[in-house]
A and B are shown apart, each in its own frame.
Chain A
Amino acid sequence: MSDMRVKDRKVEYRRVAYYPGCALEGTGHAYNSSTKAVGKALGLELDEVKNWNCCGAMEVKNIDPKVQTYLSSRVMSIAANEMGAKVVMAPCNGCYHNLKKAEHDLAQDADSREVVDRLSKKAGHATYRPGQLETIHALDWIKHGIGEEGLKGRIRKSLEGLKVANYYGCMYTRPRHIFPEKDKGPGSESTSKPHFMDDLLEAAAAESVDFPLKTACCGGAHTLSDSDTSTKLVLNILRAAEAAGADVIATECPTCHTGLEMHQVRAEKVLGEKTTVKMLYFTQLLGIALGLSPRQVGVQENVSDGLELLRSKRLA
């Protein structure tokens, strides 16, 4: 039965609806271009959700949580009802989290269903019904759509000798109850010690260092409104990665990535604490392993200058 399931995903994930979200059109542009480039190199197709809207990130829920549920439900409704998609992929942890949370709330809570139905009708589109779509992260997409074995056969430039701290952040794993498919034992993702990014980059021969702060918080929600706290939290993460011997922190969320980059600079300027570890999106690292150039995966767009590191490892 489990073999059946694996086979299904290989087929289902070959072509999925794609929800980039606002950050990937702004500061996380390199994550967007590298995700698309990696998909292309792996033969995985992306159909961008038509005329999508913002998921509300970490902010709209503080004004009204059910409006945030509605925002996600509209995106899912378009993917399911107007595009006929079965699977929607969101590379941004915030978008991914919110779609998952909306799915959970709509399945479990009658009030949420009522509010979403009311707003959807007034807005003039079909109401999203829970169960119509499966929401996945870019990590699931590659892990289940291609798999480590599939990746190994396509590696053109081994990442051997590159020490990576895999950083997953908060929204990919917490709270546990909105990710019913996680924590299901071998083969499934873990919410306490996530490993999908480790698995994929190890398939490209990178070395995952033992990094205790995989799911620590970067303070992204208050990156500008409480910068001092965010700087302390980021500095912890950077220092832990350096202590673990990492050359680079691999990221899978535009908010985390920008937060690490911003507060690395801020820690240096405000606290006089200099760290040298670099940040690259995991899709940038995978892209390079698949033979793409640093420019094709947008390394030049990062604040943290990964080019020098890639050159020193003969990857650029």
Chain B
Amino acid sequence: MPIHEQSLIRPENLKTHDKLVIDGVDVSGHWSTFIESRVVTDYNERLEEEIAALPGGEYIHRCWQCGSCTNSCTVNAVNPDFNPRYWIYLIRMGLESELLRDKGIIWQCVSCNKCTYACPRDVVPEGVMKATAHWLELKGHTPKSKSMIFDEEFSGQVIETGKIEEGRIIRGFFAKTAQPLTQEWLVEMAKRVARRLPIKLGMLMGFAAVFRPRTRGWGRARRAIEEYVSEQHAKQRKALGLAELVEMAQSELSSGAKRV
């Protein structure tokens, strides 16, 4: 029997039986499909606070669930499972386990800011997506996304020298994500440039990086930024209860060592 709005039911919650006898009555065929009801017991009441403690997540409390973000979303148009409005709802309700079902795609926000443009409540959903992706990584729910690896590679260079050199970033990123630089499409692109301009190709791939661009006298700015960033990171770890976790683990380790 067809189930209306079946797309709204998760496949694993649909129980279909080929042969089913209930109270001695054979209901195989017609009444063979059941929907398992969802039970949520493990609310994380601090989830919204934790997201709000990370950069970008500050204004999540303003959301009134109009859905303008999802409606305008670039990534949603490519992948309908990418649903900022829903995730903001889950976070505000503390439905952590539900949120974790989508942990593999939240980092895919492309920061096009269409949501932030459309939002009537200034939630800055783009920032919330970044904060959520960051939260998933800090809590150990997901490994570092490729996007975060790229951001760190890029930011590391900016903080170190004041400037970036694209070839160096591309090389660093491909090395850290264990991807070969010789992917067919990259090689094809290189060939097309090389036909006309071998020097540009060198610049692009960094083979001929003659010097590393840097801002003169950047050292003081670098130290100031590093100091500030480490302060902020400590604050964020505290807000997420990560510092306590580490302490707990350490004390358990040491008490374990004593017992031995």
Report A136 CB to chain B, min CB distance, Å. 20
Instruction: Please provide the chain A residues from 198 to 226 with a CB less than 8 Å away from any CB of chain B in the complex.
Output: 216-217, 219-222, 224-226
Question: Is B249 on the interface with A (CB-CB < 8 A)?
Answer: no
Question: Beta-carbon contacts of A249-272 to B below 8 Å, as 1s and 0s?
Answer: 000000000000110011011100
Question: Is A316 on the interface with B (CB-CB < 8 A)?
Answer: no
Residue numbers in A under 8 Å from B149 (CB-CB): 225
Question: Is A134 on the interface with B (CB-CB < 8 A)?
Answer: no
Write the residues of chain A forming the contact surface with B, with a CB cutoff of 8 angstroms. 22-23, 25-27, 29, 51-54, 56-67, 70-71, 74, 115, 118-119, 122-124, 170-171, 173-176, 191, 216-217, 219-222, 224-226, 229-230, 232-233, 261-262, 265-266, 268-270, 300-301, 303, 305
Report B19 CB to chain A, min CB distance, Å. 43
Instruction: Please provide the chain B residues from 41 to 89 with a CB less than 8 Å away from any CB of chain A in the complex.
Output: 55-56, 74-75, 78-79
Residue numbers in A under 8 Å from B94 (CB-CB): none
CB <8 Å contact, A266 and B185: yes
In the complex, A51→B173 CA distance in Å? 27
Q: Which residue of B lies closest to A122 (CB)?
A: B224
In the complex, A25→B165 CA distance in Å? 9
CB <8 Å contact, A53 and B110: no
- Asked if A62 meets B148 with Cβ closer than 8 Å, knowing A269-B184, A301-B200, the reply is yes
In the complex, A64→B164 CA distance in Å? 17
Residue numbers in A under 8 Å from B213 (CB-CB): 22, 25
CB <8 Å contact, B189 and A262: yes
Residue numbers in A under 8 Å from B155 (CB-CB): 56, 59-60, 62-63
Q: Interface SS of chain A: helix, strand, loop or mixed?
A: helix
In the complex, A28→B136 CA distance in Å? 34
Residue numbers in B under 8 Å from A56 (CB-CB): 155, 158
CB <8 Å contact, B228 and A175: no
CB <8 Å contact, B166 and A22: yes
Residue numbers in A under 8 Å from B229 (CB-CB): 63-64, 67
CB <8 Å contact, B110 and A305: no
Q: How many residue pairs between the two chains, A and B, have CB atoms under 8 Å in the bound complex?
A: 178
| 20 sampled A-B residue pairs with Cβ under 8 A | A29-B200, A53-B162, A53-B218, A57-B164, A65-B55, A67-B228, A118-B224, A123-B220, A170-B113, A174-B112, A174-B113, A175-B117, A217-B110, A221-B111, A225-B145, A226-B147, A268-B185, A268-B188, A301-B193, A301-B197
Report A105 CB to chain B, min CB distance, Å. 12
Q: Which residue of A lies closest to B126 (CB)?
A: A175
Residue numbers in B under 8 Å from A74 (CB-CB): 221
In the complex, A192→B125 CA distance in Å? 19
Report B228 CB to chain A, min CB distance, Å. 6
Other A-B pairs beyond A51-B216, A64-B232, A74-B221, 18, CB < 8 Å: A22-B164, A26-B203, A61-B130, A62-B148, A64-B228, A67-B229, A115-B228, A119-B224, A119-B228, A124-B220, A174-B117, A219-B74, A224-B150, A224-B173, A229-B108, A232-B78, A265-B192, A270-B185
Complex A-B, nearest 9 residue pairs according to Cβ-Cβ distance, in ascending order: A217-B112, A122-B224, A123-B221, A225-B146, A174-B113, A59-B154, A53-B162, A269-B185, A26-B166
In the complex, A98→B3 CA distance in Å? 50
Instruction: Pick the residue among A62, A71, A217 that contacts B158 (CB under 8 A).
Output: A71
Instruction: Pick the residue among B162, B189, B220 that contacts A122 (CB under 8 A).
Output: B220
Instruction: Please provide the chain B residues from 146 to 177 with a CB less than 8 Å away from any CB of chain A in the complex.
Output: 146-152, 154-155, 158-159, 162-167, 170, 173-174, 177
In the complex, A58→B151 CA distance in Å? 8
CB <8 Å contact, B163 and A22: yes
